[in-house]
Amino acid sequence: MKRIIIQGSSRSKENTNKVVRLLMKELEFDVVDLSLKKIEYFDYEFKNQKDDFLSIIKQIAEEYELIVFATPVYWYSMSGIMKTFFDRLSDCLKIEKETGRKLIGKNMAVISCGSDETETEGFFTPFRNSAEYLGMTYLGNIHTWIEDELVSNKVETRIQNFVKLLLEAETNTVINNM
């Protein structure tokens, strides 16, 4: 089962990436760093099709069964970069329907990374609802945080439990497809 992390931080190698790297120590993932890509805002006239969105989403739809979104918490919400990516998923409902159909049945999970242990109420709702709308299976989420530039033991434990959840879901998917 191929897995990919879509990292949506404004900086490539800081807090969210620390958590991403820990996850990658436990499980094999490819990564897309959205901050290095050119993804324009959603356009009702679809005049933005020459940016990087289409090639990224087509590759995801073709190759991966598990998609993990990793986003920092910016103003109690997902990052702007991540939100723009989600807005552009609308392209897959309008002009790239074939790609949209290929997302059906794929697994989605989410990691947030804040500066505070407290999870923002409703933070994961847009992800869960988007998965449902797209026909994807929402496996779950974890909130993480970085204090004094360090990943705490509590966060490490959360990541380990998250890995167990992802592996269990993969096992179930394999069994159901037999």
Ligand X SMILES: Cc1cc2nc3c(=O)[nH]c(=O)nc-3n(C[C@H](O)[C@H](O)[C@H](O)COP(=O)(O)O)c2cc1C
What's the min distance (Å) between Cβ of 32 and ligand X?
A: 15
What's the min distance (Å) between Cβ of 33 and ligand X?
A: 11
The residue range among 4-12, 30-38, 98-106, 149-157 that interacts with ligand X, by the rule CB under 6 A, is: 4-12
Between helix 80-88 and helix 53-63 the angle, nearest 10°, is 70
Q: Count Cβ atoms below 10 Å from residue 144 Cβ, excluding itself.
A: 28
Q: Is 115 exposed, middle or buried (0-12, 13-18, 19+ CB in 10 A)?
A: exposed
Q: Which of residues 61-100 bind ligand X (CB under 6 A)?
A: 72-76
Q: Count Cβ atoms below 10 Å from residue 146 Cβ, excluding itself.
A: 19
What's the min distance (Å) between Cβ of 9 and ligand X?
A: 3
Residue located via tokens 């847009």: 126
Q: Which of residues 121-160 bind ligand X (CB under 6 A)?
A: 146
For position 117 contacting ligand X by CB under 6 A, the verdict is: no
Among 115, 157, 160, 171, binds ligand X (CB under 6 A): 115
The residue range among 5-13, 32-40, 83-91, 94-102 that interacts with ligand X, by the rule CB under 6 A, is: 5-13
Written as one letter, the residue type at 118 is T
User: Which tokens sit at 143?
Assistant: 């909130």
Q: Which of residues 13-32 bind ligand X (CB under 6 A)?
A: 14-16
What's the min distance (Å) between Cβ of 51 and ligand X?
A: 22
Written as one letter, the residue type at 73 is V
Q: Is 90 exposed, middle or buried (0-12, 13-18, 19+ CB in 10 A)?
A: middle
Closer by beta carbon to ligand X, 23 or else 146 = 146
Q: Which helix (H) or strand (E) holds 168?
A: helix 153-176
What's the min distance (Å) between Cβ of 20 and ligand X?
A: 9
Total binding residues toward ligand X, as defined by CB under 6 A: 16
Interface residues with ligand X (CB under 6 A) are 9-11, 14-16, 72-76, 113-116, 146
